[in-house]
Each structure stands twice: as C-alpha cells, then as structure tokens.
A and B are shown apart, each in its own frame.
Chain A
C-alpha cells in the first residue's frame, strides 16, 4: 500500500471524520488519497492558520484530536500560530505537514523549512521521519501522544517520497494507557488534603480547563456540594461549573467578577482543579499567595509548584482524585465565610438596565441562548469583547465555551467556530463573538462559513478600535492612544455580504434584540455588526497588585 493511503487508512482507524487543511505541492499525494476516501470530510479553509484553529475548535468540542494538514514551507509556517494556541490550552491535535522529498532535504530546496525545529517548543511532540517504514508507526503514535495525559498538539513532517513508498499497513488498536495512580502513597496525600479542606475557614475551589479535559464535571459539582465550597472558574474553565449553581461565584482573574476576585483574595485555602495558575488568573504572585495554602490537582506533575508553591500537590486523573477527596463526611464550618461571600455577590451584582452597551448586549445574548430547549456554544475571539462575554454570558455545560486562553490569539474565533459547528452539526449552534480588530485577522473565513453554509451567528462588536489595546494605553500610558483607534471606517456588513452572507448593521439595543432573535430563527450563516461606542472592560485588576485591587475608570 502507498504511504499516503496508509496514512488515510490510519486516520480513519482513529475515528477521524473531518480534516482541515490547504493543499500544496508536497502534500498533494495525501490529498490524492483523501479524494478517494468518502468517509472523511475534508474542509478547505482560506489560510493554513485557520485550518489549525478550525481543527483546534473541532477538538475542543469533540474531545478527540483535531486533524489539520498543510504543505511544506509557507504552508507549514502558517500553521504555527494555530499549533501554539492549541499547545497553550492543552488541546489534542494531530498536524501533518508535507516536506520536500528526502533526497532534497537540507539543500534549501523550494518550499523547504525545518518545521520540526520551528514547532518543537510549541508541540507536545513532533516527528521527523528518516525512513518510510517509520511513517505509519509515527501517525499511530501521534494520536496516542496527543490524547493521553495532558493533551496537546503533535506534528508529523512527511517527506513527499514517503507518501509514494510501499508501506505495510498494520492496524494498531490504540489502547489508552491506564493510569496506575492512585497508589498507596497517594491515598495518604488525599487524606491530608481532606483534613486541610475541613480545617479551612475560607476555602475556595478554582475550576480550570483541566476539569473539562478530564471530563470531571459531575465529580467537581459533587465535591463542592459535599463540603459546601464556593467555586470560581478560570477563563478556560467557564462552563464546567453551572453558572446558575448557588455555589458559583463567577469567573475570576484580571477581568474577573469582583465577588469572585474578592473571594479568591480573601480565601485561606485554594483548591485548584485543572488550573495552571496563569498570570492572568493570579496577578502579582507574591500578593496572590499571601496568607494562603494551596491544594493543586492537575494531570501534569510539572504544573505542581511551577507558578504557585502548593502544600499538597495531587497529580493524576481529575475524576479519580476528586472521587478520592469525597470519601469522608464533612465536618467543616464555612457559615461565616458564606455570609461574606453572599454580601459580595449582592454588593457587586451587575445591574443590567437594557442600555445600549456591550455588557447589556452580552446579557441579552446570554438570556436568549440559555432559554429552555435552546442549545448553543459560544466561541470568542480575543480582546475586550472576549472579556465582556466571559463576564456576562452564562454557561452551564462543559464544551459550550471556547476561547483562546493561554496564547490569546486574535483571529482564533471565526475558524474555531467553523470547527465547533462542524462537530456539533445540527445538535448545537455556534454564536461567534468577535471584535472589529480580531475579525480583520481571519475574516476571510466567512468564505468557508458561507461555502459550507454553517448556521453560525457571528456577532462583531464594532467600536472602531483595538479596544483592549486602547484600554491598556488608558491605564498604563496616560491615555496616549496610538495605533489603537481606526480612523478609516470599514463596512463589515458589506464585507460579509461579499461572501454571500446575510449581514446586519445594528445601532441600538432594540435593533440588536430584533436582529439577534431573528438570527436565531433562521438556520443559516449570519453576521451582526454591533456598532457601539468605545468603552472599557470593568472590573480590571492591576497586574502588579492583588486581584482585589481594581482599576478606577
């Protein structure tokens, strides 16, 4: 069997039904094999970066590795931002790049780049092939590595001639490696952790994206309920704890809700589940750790003590560990703590008055997409709109909130929406929220969205500026705005219409309500441009101070 056919067969064996990519000379043999494979849907994007983001979105929604392919040289380098995005957010992904024939390698041949070397720091693993017989084992192993332990992207760089080489296909059933943990030692640490939880006067749980990856939503809810623990989420953890649950305090961090940030700042014990204590979550580390102890649960042992020194580190399977922590009868008393928390919740409750600003727009979206029998996923880009969405759109289920957390990749939203929508098909519709800055980055994917007739509702918050940059220039550069305000007006509705997509310009809350509810009714691609004044995302904490020190606007 030809190498290219073996690769396709192997992809099929790994349950791959959708591949994103872009053709080019060195990857063409694989395209020829894919052409003949009817069970795999190939999605052509307008740029390789978008293929990577779309595969990423598909993976975040499905939990399976997303697959994207590109050719050598520029095709491969265009993938880099997408791979780095997936790496930072621990998304399982298999990336296949074509490479110049092995005989031409190392001669600076046409469209040759060392993509193996370029992507080494941003992949969980990468394969550089020396022999055609290594091709198939590499593809098989790539899936195993991408989807085991802490998930992440894996790249395989395949010289063109290996696609033509005669390869023996051997079906290999991927067995998920069984985690040997917990062992006897581990139980001691778990018991110590329970003691600590019961002794704490002001405990709090931080739910991170790792709980979603570890499919431990139920365990997390039971754990928090059992010990009556307040829960905040990280940006990546939104959705894992139902936002209407009485124990939920909101999203914490640089732009977190005030009640949530206060709770974290005043806690004496933080139980972090699947969160790596990123700097946007903690702010100033010295102030963050002051007078606190930490129980850190993560699948990746290297995360324990990396950013925050914990008292107890539990590395392993999230589900198992949370179950272990529920083995005793609670005796803790957190009543006083809850009185404080409830006060903050009341004091800092957001007043949605229906005026035409972004928080109210987000609140309306939230109310509409969370109605009974409605099932929506929210995908955001990166910027002010992303933070407003995180603050004001309620999510109840894991894998219904998608955002670029670690890398903060502008342009992630639209291609990721395509991946998410393709996975959910008719079961769940995607609302994509972008800023006018981020949509300029990968807006050409409206072409793909239109070509596939995906019923995504794309909302562009148009404040004619790079809002987050403007905000940083206000706070840290004495309101000296530079390169953050667009003097040249662009008609985004005409842009969307040029792809054949229905688009609306909105100038008031009434407009928005009408257009958005109408968009929900119609099952087709739509773009809504919310033309709105420039504003600032509040609350905002200063990165150099504690997370309950807020910037005054």
Chain B
C-alpha cells in the first residue's frame, strides 16, 4: 500500500540528508520525495511517499520523529488529504495532429507551456492516475520526455501539520 508522510523540519543544511539517510539506513524505499520551505521560512516541509506494511509505517513515523530537527510527523489518510504532483510531458506533433493533441490536453486540463513546430510541452498537475491516463493517450503521437516532481500532500479541513507537533511522542499502546 502507498502511504504519504508529511514531515516538518528545521530549515537548515543537512536536515534532508538526515531524514533520507535514516530511511535508507533502515532499508526502506522512497517512491517520491519533495521538499520546500514553508511559511514561516524557519521550517521546511518534506513529503515522502512510500510503500510498505504496517511495520514500515510505524518505524518510519517513529524513527523520523526521533531526529532532533524534526518538529512534526503526519501520516496522511488518503480520504482526508489532497495529493498533488506536477508533470511535464514533451510530445511530438505536426500540423496534422496538433489540434487533436491540444484537445486531449484540454480534457485533462493540461496546459501547453511551450509550442514548437515539431513539439509541445504540457504541464499537468494532479494525482498519479490522472497523469498516467494522460500520457497513455499521448503515447501514440510519440512522447519524447516525461519529468515528474515529487508529490505533496495536505490534509483537508482546519487541521494543519502543526497539530501533529505535540503528538511526536509515543506514550504506550493498548493490548492487542
């Protein structure tokens, strides 16, 4: 199963390496990673997408939470969160099929960000499934290049990652 983890960290050199190093040291694999500074700029937010069973999820949260530079760790529930990532697709076109390609793009709400006589570059945001459907439809025209950013995740409603800052500590658990 795919999981999304948001991690709020101090915006300092080496912190990303610390988080990622911890994950690789434990032999867990990352599917996608994105990092960016937050408002306020003293913090950065890391979004990690990974696959794994309950054990890996539990260890990811606890081991990342242990790092002194980490302020909050939030595991997203897919139902209560918005996931987004951006993809750039470069597709081969000519005068005959350019309009067809643009029509497909319109259906997917992808924007053409570069137009040349033989190529088009589209920008598309959204979840993986949508991007995959889009590229599948473009494939027959000849895709030259695809580049994806890491996905980001945000919880719906009033709660923010700061609500998870206090929850970093683990107290105990009930009898199973």
Residues of A participating in the B interface, judged by any CB pair closer than 8 Å: 116-117, 120-121, 124-125, 128, 130, 145, 180-183, 185-186, 188-190, 192, 196, 300-302, 304-306, 311-316
Q: Given A120-B18, A302-B59, A302-B66, does the pair A185, B171 have CB atoms closer than 8 Å?
A: yes
**From residue B68, how far is it (CB to closest CB) to chain A in Å?**
5
Of the residues A130, A300, A313, A316, contact of B173 by C-beta under 8 Å: A313
- Cβ-defined contact, A312 with B175, below 8 A: yes
- Cβ-defined contact, B62 with A301, below 8 A: yes
Nearest A residue to B61 by beta-carbon distance?
A302
- Cβ-defined contact, B173 with A121, below 8 A: no
Per the bound structure, the CA–CA distance linking A190 and B172 in Å amounts to: 9
- Cβ-defined contact, B17 with A312, below 8 A: no
Q: Interface residues of A: mostly helix, strand, loop or mixed?
A: mixed
Q: Which residues of B contact A316 (CB under 8 A)?
A: 171
Other than A190-B172, A316-B171, give 7 A-B pairs with Cβ distance below 8 A.
A124-B68, A125-B68, A189-B172, A189-B173, A302-B59, A311-B175, A315-B172
Q: Is residue B25 contacting chain A, with contact meaning CB distance below 8 A?
A: yes
- Cβ-defined contact, A128 with B14, below 8 A: yes
Q: Which residues of A contact B55 (CB under 8 A)?
A: 305
Q: Given A116-B14, A120-B17, does the pair A312, B171 have CB atoms closer than 8 Å?
A: no
Q: Is residue B63 contacting chain A, with contact meaning CB distance below 8 A?
A: yes
Per the bound structure, the CA–CA distance linking A117 and B14 in Å amounts to: 9
**From residue A151, how far is it (CB to closest CB) to chain B in Å?**
13
- Cβ-defined contact, A121 with B25, below 8 A: yes
Q: Which residues of B contact A185 (CB under 8 A)?
A: 171-172
Nearest A residue to B58 by beta-carbon distance?
A305
Nearest B residue to A313 by beta-carbon distance?
B173
Q: Is residue B107 contacting chain A, with contact meaning CB distance below 8 A?
A: no
Nearest A residue to B172 by beta-carbon distance?
A189
Of the residues B17, B68, B171, B174, contact of A183 by C-beta under 8 Å: B171
Of the residues B13, B21, B173, contact of A304 by C-beta under 8 Å: B173
Per the bound structure, the CA–CA distance linking A534 and B21 in Å amounts to: 43
Q: Which residues of B contact A180 (CB under 8 A)?
A: 169
Per the bound structure, the CA–CA distance linking A313 and B170 in Å amounts to: 9
**Using an 8 Å CB-CB cutoff, how does the interface string of B1-44 with A read, 1 for contact, 0 for none?**
00000000000011001100110010000000000000000000
**From residue A318, how far is it (CB to closest CB) to chain B in Å?**
14
- Cβ-defined contact, B176 with A186, below 8 A: no
Q: Which residues of A contact B172 (CB under 8 A)?
A: 185-186, 188-190, 312-315
The 9 closest A-B pairs by CB, nearest first: A189-B172, A301-B170, A302-B62, A186-B171, A314-B172, A315-B170, A313-B173, A302-B63, A121-B25
**Using an 8 Å CB-CB cutoff, how does the interface string of B150-176 with A read, 1 for contact, 0 for none?**
000000000000000000011111111
Per the bound structure, the CA–CA distance linking A188 and B174 in Å amounts to: 8
List 20 A–B pairs whose Cβ atoms lie within 8 Å, in order of A's numbering: A116-B14, A120-B18, A121-B21, A124-B68, A125-B68, A128-B14, A181-B169, A182-B171, A183-B171, A189-B171, A192-B174, A301-B62, A301-B169, A302-B65, A302-B66, A304-B62, A305-B58, A311-B175, A315-B169, A316-B171
Nearest B residue to A302 by beta-carbon distance?
B62
Per the bound structure, the CA–CA distance linking A145 and B67 in Å amounts to: 11
Q: Which residues of A contact B59 (CB under 8 A)?
A: 302, 305-306
- Cβ-defined contact, B68 with A304, below 8 A: no
Q: Which residues of B contact A181 (CB under 8 A)?
A: 169, 171
Q: Which residues of A contact B173 (CB under 8 A)?
A: 189, 304, 312-313
Q: Which residues of A contact B65 (CB under 8 A)?
A: 301-302
Q: Which residues of B contact A196 (CB under 8 A)?
A: 175
Per the bound structure, the CA–CA distance linking A191 and B66 in Å amounts to: 27
